[in-house]
Every structure is written in structure tokens, then in C-alpha cells.
């Protein structure tokens, strides 16, 4: 039987119910389970320094059907005291009289109890990870690294953001000196964890590829939806497999739509999907802790991020481009940069006016789409070169599309740019860009 040293803490109004405590102790054994009952609103969680070293797992038992603010505050307080990776919430669905067994605690807590498993078990699992026939290995093979499609000089960003990115890259480039010669590895892991956030179409995915290109590495692109699994307990395994794949292929790991994974862990875990998300988040913390490469997360939403993640990540905002930046993005999307296979070969007329094009308040993706539309129109009309007329027409169409989609989103009853505030306008455009992107993906335009 797995020996769990569990520190149990209840935040239920009536305190730790005797029966639940008895159930847990009877299964886990009193030697391996420490119970701590607290009740009501005057919860005082007092843990002595270093006490958490003695447990494999700290469990907060919540028997309320819904977690009120007060209770979730206390759960968080408890989590702060017990280390993050030790923390788990036992859901109310277990109930006072529910059967509490090591097996169902394990299945409920998912990745949390992997940590709590015996040392031999953990070692076995690590060996299994590397074993070519293991399920992790098989799963890891599904995630193949690809050659990055963008280079760093194609990316237009504000100077401070670009600098911070290059700084992150230089940690890896100078890894030998920093972590071996100067032995920084004795105090921190040589990993780089970046979180890129910002509005749709501002270059987050592109930046991840550009970083990989800069490092001369391949990239494994994945998104939350690829990792999440409808089979209970599969999500954390897939996540582990992805990290294994990145390690084996020495690739940059890019995790898109990361908000669902990185936001605060749910304290009301009475339903299965909430438990599954929590297990994923616990596994993610463990995988990040053990990883020694570069992981880039991307998200449109940074609100509600879990502090445990925030403190581990270098967070960079990719803002909508201003006029100068737009001009550079137009340039990069029209003119050739060199003579490699990535360079553009668009035949351009003499009259291209970047200044005029950059007046359209577009994000990078809108600019890319407008260029594509102008090229298609030029070919369809049998014109030899893309000219300013076609580019302007494409911009106007893109602008109209953005407005139409914003209207369809139901957020905009009468969209007149001059009639709405700047903030509102930015929000509408953001929504529209998101919907356009979905449309783009659905139509296979990308």
C-alpha cells in the first residue's frame, strides 16, 4: 500500500467531521495521517516552520457544496503555508460518510498524489519515463518537434519586450558558464519559462517560433486542448509526455491557450472536470520544476493567474502595434529580407506607400491578412504586380470584416468608431479579431 503522510485540514463550518477523520485514518493508518481540525469562520492555521517537510501531501477538506470567498481565502492561506506542490483539496463529493480510500484519494488528487507516492514508486515512474516501451514514451512520440517558421528579425516588438526576450535566450546560450562553471544550478534550475500574453494577433505564437529559431532549436507546438483529455487522469500523463518529448528532442516547448492551465486552481472541486484541471495544474508545476529547457506559454488572458505560476514565469505583454511598429510589420510582410527559403518574392509596384498603410489600426495578423487578400486580388485580376490600390482595398475590406464580425458578436449594435470610447473600440476590435481568427481556422485559410 502506498504510504501517504497526509496533513489534513478542514475548513468546513462544523470542523473536521469525526467520521471523515476516522475513515481516513482507518485506511491510511494513524502513523501516516495527521489530522488537524479547524472550524467556522475563526480559522487559524498555524503551522510550524519546516513542518511541511514531514508530509507527502497536505489536504484541505472542504465539505461545503460551494466554496464561498471566505473559505477559498482560507484554502489559499493554507496552501501558502503548506508548499504549493504538497497541496490538494479533498472535494465535498466525498462527503462525511463517503468511502475514503487511498485509491479514491489518489484518483481524485491525480498528479498531487504522484508526488505523494513512495520514493520507490517515484523512481520506478522516472525509469518508466525513459523506458522506450513505456506508455509515456509512446505518448511522447506523438509530439514531434518542427522547424520554426519565423526568425527573430521578422518579429516587430517594442524594444523593452525584445530585450527581455533576448535576455531569456541568453540564459540558455550561456548555460555552460552560468550553470556549470558558476554552479548556479545549485540554487536554481537552468530552465527558462516565458509567458507571452496580449491581444489576439500580436505575435505571441510567432515569437515562440522566432525564439526557437534564434536558439537553433526545433519547436513542439501544443495547446491546452491537445493536452486535456476526456479520459480521467490522462491529462497529467499527456502533459508529462509532452515535457518528455521536449527533453528528448531538445526542443522549445510552446503551450498555447495556457490561461485555462495557469489560472488559479479551483477550490470547489466537487465535479470531475474541476478535479481534472487541478490535477493538470499540479502536474504542470512538477513538470516545470524538473524541466531544464525553455517553455513558452501564450495566452490572451492573464487575469486570475495562479500566483504559484506567476512567480515562476517571466511574463511579457505583447501590445498592439503603434503606427511605427505597424509600418515595420507592413515592410516585413511585403519586402524580401534575404535570399533564403523564408524570404518573400512578392512582385511590388513602385507606388507602395507604407506610411498610408500603417494608418489602418491593425494588429500584425490583420496586416498579414490584408497582404494575402491584396495578393489574391492581384492574381485574380491578372495584374503583374501588387500595387497600392489593391493593398488599400484589402485594408478597407479587412477593416469592414472586423466591424462586421464585431457586430455579429452582438457587442456592437451600431458600430461607429467615432461614437465609442477608445477602450470600447479596442475591446470590440479584440473580440472581432478573435472571431475572425476562428473563422480563418474553420475555413482552413491559415
Ligand X SMILES: Nc1ncnc2c1ncn2[C@@H]1O[C@H](COP(=O)(O)OP(=O)(O)OP(=O)(O)O)[C@@H](O)[C@H]1O
Specify whether the CB–CB gap between 194 and 314 falls below 8 A. yes
Please say whether the beta carbons of 275 and 91 come within 8 A: yes
Binding ligand X (rule: CB under 6 A), the pick from 10, 113, 195, 205 is: 205
Give the H or E element holding residue 37.
Answer: strand 33-37
User: From ligand X, Mg ion, none, which one binds at residue 282 (CB under 5 to 8 Å depending on kind)?
Assistant: none
Choose between 300 and 389: whose C-beta lies nearer to ligand X.
300
Residue from the set 33, 59, 156, 406 that interacts with ligand X by CB under 6 A = 156
Q: Which of Mg ion, ligand X, none does residue 156 bind to, with CB < 5 to 8 Å depending on kind? A: ligand X
Q: CB–CB of 278/88 below 8 Å?
A: yes
Q: How far apart are CA 372 and CA 398, in angstroms?
A: 11
List 197's β-bridge partners, or say none.
299, 317
What residue 110 binds from ligand X, Mg ion, none (CB within 5 to 8 A, per partner kind)?
A: none
Q: Which of 329, 334, 370, 391 binds ligand X (CB under 6 A)?
A: 329
Residue 6 or 258: the one with the smaller Cβ distance to Mg ion is 258
CB-based closest residue to ligand X = 364
235 touches ligand X (CB under 6 A): no
Q: How far is the CB of 152 from Mg ion (least distance, A)?
A: 17
When the beta carbons of 128 and 324 are compared against ligand X, the nearer one is 324
User: Nearest distance from residue 299's CB to ligand X, in Å?
Assistant: 8
| Rounded distance between C-alpha atoms, residue 208 and residue 214, angstroms | 10
d(CA 275, CA 108): 7
The residue written with cell numbers 513542518 in the block is: 51
Check residue 148 for interaction with ligand X (CB under 6 A): no
287 binds ligand X (CB under 6 A): no
Q: Is 300 in the site for ligand X (CB under 6 A)?
A: yes
- Give how many residues touch ligand X by CB under 6 A: 19
Assess contact for 38 and 45: CB atoms under 8 A.
Answer: yes
Among 203, 235, 236, 293, binds ligand X (CB under 6 A): 203
Q: Quick check: 117 binds ligand X (CB under 6 A)?
A: no
Q: Could you say whether residue 157 binds ligand X (CB under 6 A)?
A: yes
Q: Is residue 102 within 8 Å of residue 28, measured between CB atoms?
A: yes
CB of 437 to ligand X, least distance (A): 5
- Please give the torsion angle defined by the CA atoms of residues 376, 377, 380 and 383, in that order, rounded to the nearest 10 degrees: -110
Binding site for Mg ion (CB under 5 A): 204-205
Phi first, then psi: give them for residue 239, nearest 5 degrees: -60, -45
Over its C-alpha atoms, the chain yields an Rg (Å, rounded) of 26
Q: Does 204 bind ligand X (CB under 6 A)?
A: yes
Given Mg ion, ligand X, none, residue 275, with its beta carbon under 5 to 8 Å by kind, binds none
The span from the CA of 146 to the CA of 416, in Å, is 43
Q: Does 82 bind ligand X (CB under 6 A)?
A: no
Distance CA 304, CA 36 (A): 29
Amino acid at each position: 500500500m502506498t504510504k501517504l503522510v497526509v496533513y489534513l485540514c478542514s475548513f468546513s463550518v462544523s470542523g473536521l467531521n469525526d467520521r471523515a477523520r476516522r475513515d481516513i485514518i482507518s485506511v491510511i493508518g494513524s502513523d501516516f495521517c495527521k489530522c488537524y481540525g479547524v472550524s467556522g469562520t475563526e480559522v487559524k492555521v498555524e503551522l510550524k516552520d519546516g513542518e511541511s517537510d514531514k508530509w507527502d501531501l497536505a489536504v484541505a477538506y472542504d465539505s461545503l457544496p460551494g466554496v464561498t470567498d471566505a473559505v477559498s481565502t482560507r484554502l489559499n492561506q493554507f496552501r501558502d503555508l503548506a508548499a504549493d506542490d504538497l497541496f490538494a483539496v479533498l472535494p465535498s463529493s466525498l462527503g462525511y460518510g463517503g468511502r475514503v480510500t487511498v485509491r479514491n484519494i489518489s484518483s481524485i488528487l491525480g498528479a498531487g498524489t504522484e508526488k505523494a507516492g513512495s520514493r520507490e514508486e517515484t523512481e520506478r515512474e522516472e525509469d518508466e519515463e525513459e523506458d522506450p516501451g513505456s506508455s509515456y514514451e509512446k505518448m511522447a512520440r506523438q509530439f514531434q518537434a518542427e522547424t520554426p517558421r519565423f526568425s527573430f528579425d521578422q518579429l516587430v516588438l517594442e524594444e523593452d519586450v525584445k530585450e527581455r526576450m533576448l535576455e531569456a535566450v541568453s540564459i540558455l546560450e550561456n548555460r555552460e558558464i552560468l550553470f556549470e562553471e558558476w554552479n548556479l544550478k545549485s540554487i536554481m534550475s537552468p530552465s527558462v519559462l516565458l509567458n507571452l500574453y496580449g491581444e489576439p494577433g500580436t505575435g505571441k505564437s510567432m515569437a515562440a517560433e522566432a525564439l526557437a529559431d534564434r536558439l537553433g532549436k526545433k519547436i513542439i507546438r501544443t495547446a491546452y486542448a491537445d493536452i486535456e483529455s476526456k479520459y480521467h487522469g490522462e491529462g497529467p500523463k499527456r502533459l508529462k509526455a509532452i515535457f518528455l518529448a521536449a527533453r528528448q528532442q531538445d526542443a522549445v516547448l510552446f503551450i498555447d491557450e495556457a490561461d485555462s492551465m495557469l489560472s488559479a486552481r479551483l477550490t470547489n472541486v466537487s465535479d470531475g472536470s474541476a478535479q481534472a484541471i487541478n490535477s493538470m495544474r499540479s502536474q504542470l508545476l512538477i513538470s516545470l520544476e524538473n524541466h531544464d529547457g525553455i517553455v513558452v506559454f501564450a495566452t490572451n488572458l492573464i487575469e486570475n493567474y495562479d500566483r504559484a505560476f506567476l512567480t515562476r514565469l517571466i511574463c511579457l505583454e505583447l501590445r498592439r502595434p503603434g503606427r511605427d511598429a505597424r509600418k515595420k510589420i507592413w515592410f516585413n510582410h511585403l519586402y524580401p529580407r534575404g535570399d533564403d527559403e523564408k524570404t518573400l518574392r512578392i512582385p511590388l509596384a513602385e507606388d507602395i506607400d507604407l506610411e498610408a498603410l500603417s494608418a489602418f489600426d491593425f494588429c500584425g495578423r490583420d496586416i498579414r491578412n490584408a497582404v494575402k487578400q491584396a495578393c489574391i486580388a492581384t492574381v485574380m485580376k491578372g495584374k503583374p504586380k501588387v500595387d497600392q490600390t489593391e493593398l488599400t482595398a484589402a485594408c478597407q475590406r479587412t477593416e469592414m470584416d472586423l466591424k462586421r464580425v464585431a457586430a455579429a458578436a452582438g457587442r456592437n449594435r451600431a458600430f461607429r468608431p467615432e461614437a465609442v470610447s477608445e477602450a470600447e473600440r479596442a475591446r470590440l476590435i479584440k473580440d472581432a479579431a478573435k472571431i475572425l481568427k476562428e473563422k480563418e481556422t474553420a475555413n482552413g485559410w491559415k
